[in-house]
Structure formats: C-alpha cells, structure tokens
Amino acid sequence: MAFPDVPRVFYRLSPLEEVICQIQFPPVLRIDAEAPVGFQEAVRSQYPFYETRAASRIPVGLPPELAQIFSTALPVGPKSHEFASRDRNWVVKLGSQFLALTCRTYDRWEGFSARMSEAAAALVGQFSPAFYTRLGLRYRNVVRRSRLPEKNQLWEWNELIQPWLTGPLGPPETANRVEETRTTSVFALDDGAGRCILNHGLAVDAATQEQVFAIDADCFTEDQTEPGDALHRLDTLHRQAHLLFRWCITERLHDALGPQPIG
C-alpha cells in the first residue's frame, strides 16, 4: 500500500467539512444545447432545487474592484446545472464534460457512493458518455482544536498532526511563531490506482479567527474508464483517501476524534 494499512473507522467527531466526487468525460454538446429535463426527472426526488451557473474565468484572489472589471471584460464560460437537496447539504452538478456530487454532511462511504451511483446512472441513461477520462474523490478535512474534547484542546499541533506534515510547527523554538503554512505533495498510489494531490497546512478560519489545520486530499485516476467500472475504481480511491488521512494524524488525534469500528 502507498500508506500503512489500518482498519476502517467512522469518527464521531469527524473533521470532514466537504466531500466531492467528480467524473469527467468527452464533451457532450447536448448538455449545453438544451435543458437537461430528463436528467432532472431522474434526480428530482432527492434534489428538488435547480439553478444554472456560468463557469467563472476570473483569476482567483483579485481585489473586488478588479474582479468586477474582469467579470465584464472576460467571456462567460460554459454553464453548469446544479441540483440541490432540500437541506442543500447535497449538490449534484452537471456540465458538458463532468458530473459531480458534493456533500457537507458526510456520514459513510456506502451512502455517498450510493448517491453517486444514482447520479451516474442518470447521466448514462440520458447522455450515454462514451467513457470517463478522469475519476476524482476529494476529502476536505479541517482539524479544529475547539471541536475536540475539552481535555485535548490545549494540545500543540505537533501532538495532533504527524511531523512529516507539521514541519516548523514541531521545534519548540518556532512552534508558536508560525502563522501559516501551505504545502502540496503528489503521491503515486499503489497498483496503478492513480495519484493523490495532498494540500495541507496551518491557516486561520476567517469566520471564527481560530487557528486550524487543513488536510485536503484529492485522489484521482486519469485512465480511461468504462462507466460500468467507475464505482469499483472509486472504491479503491476511497480506501486510499482513508489510509492517507490516518497517515497524516497522530494516534492521539485519532483517539480524540472518537473512532468507531466499521464492519
């Protein structure tokens, strides 16, 4: 395995803030040319809200006044169709080259993959993509000490996160001087399963001003995949994402998050 093998668990105090699964395919122009009525009917019972969005081509990080100038000067990109659940915690996005499922209340992989399977079945039933060019599964974890049990909230970051991620947060002479870190690593997964882009680092939550540690893993394959084989490959990426997260955190944090075994 690319990462040490450990039993799968469910965290009672999960730091997961968002999970995204995206499949990409060669362009299907009909998705842009007409309203996806049949697709909506296939998913509407679970995702009753609908809206369209134009793809943004505005560079990230611009001041508001420059962003306004760019919004009028740049051409509008291809639109996407968004279908949201009643509580808006689940969103299916459909574009001419992709289908994505986003979840902000992730429980277990089985429930998430079942929803992804249903959305993919609607895609295949309505638009019959020839094959998939990319499968991606992204887990955005944000470790917040304020959400840990009270006895664990005073722990230093190097007691929660493994040293290969904390860097200058480890040595006592620099630990309290670091305001922000940002690192990107790319891993090749075992047995040709794909790759994983890991973005991690120390940041400050803009809303609460709390110092947090982000662990953002995007596991993916760019091998051509038949639609019938996609969920099997996503199962493999899910397993790798789970092992990667465990590799990133210490046993102390693992225990503090309240792991529950999964059969």
Q: Which two tokens stand for residue 165?
A: 């991620």
- Largest separation between any pair of C-alpha atoms in the chain: 61
The Cα–Cα gap between 102 and 52 comes to: 16
- pTM given for the model: 0.89
Q: Tell me the helices (H) and strands (E) count for the chain, helix number first.
A: 9, 11
Q: What is the pLDDT of residue 171?
A: 87
pLDDT of residue 172: 82
pLDDT at 1: 53
| pLDDT tens-place values along the chain, 263 residues long | 578 999 999 999 999 999 999 999 999 999 999 999 999 999 999 999 999 987 654 454 555 554 555 454 544 456 899 999 999 999 999 999 999 999 999 989 999 999 999 999 999 999 999 999 999 999 999 999 999 999 898 999 999 999 999 999 888 888 788 889 999 999 999 878 899 999 999 999 989 999 999 999 999 999 999 999 999 999 999 999 999 999 999 999 999 999 999 87
pLDDT value of residue 75:
47
Taking phi over 0 as left and psi of -120 to 50 as alpha, with beta for the rest, 192 belongs to left
Q: Mean pLDDT for the chain?
A: 91
The predicted-structure confidence for 57-75, as pLDDT tens digits, reads as follows: 445 455 555 455 545 454 4
Q: What is the pLDDT of residue 173?
A: 83
Structure tokens that stand for 177 in this block = 């001087």
pLDDT digits (tens, 9 = 90+) for 103-134: 999 989 999 999 999 999 999 999 999 999 99
Contact 129, 26 (CB under 8 A): yes
- Nearest alpha-carbon partner for 115 in 239, 19, 226: 19
Spell out the alpha helix ranges (H) of the chain: 29-33, 37-43, 64-73, 109-127, 157-160, 163-166, 172-175, 230-248, 251-256
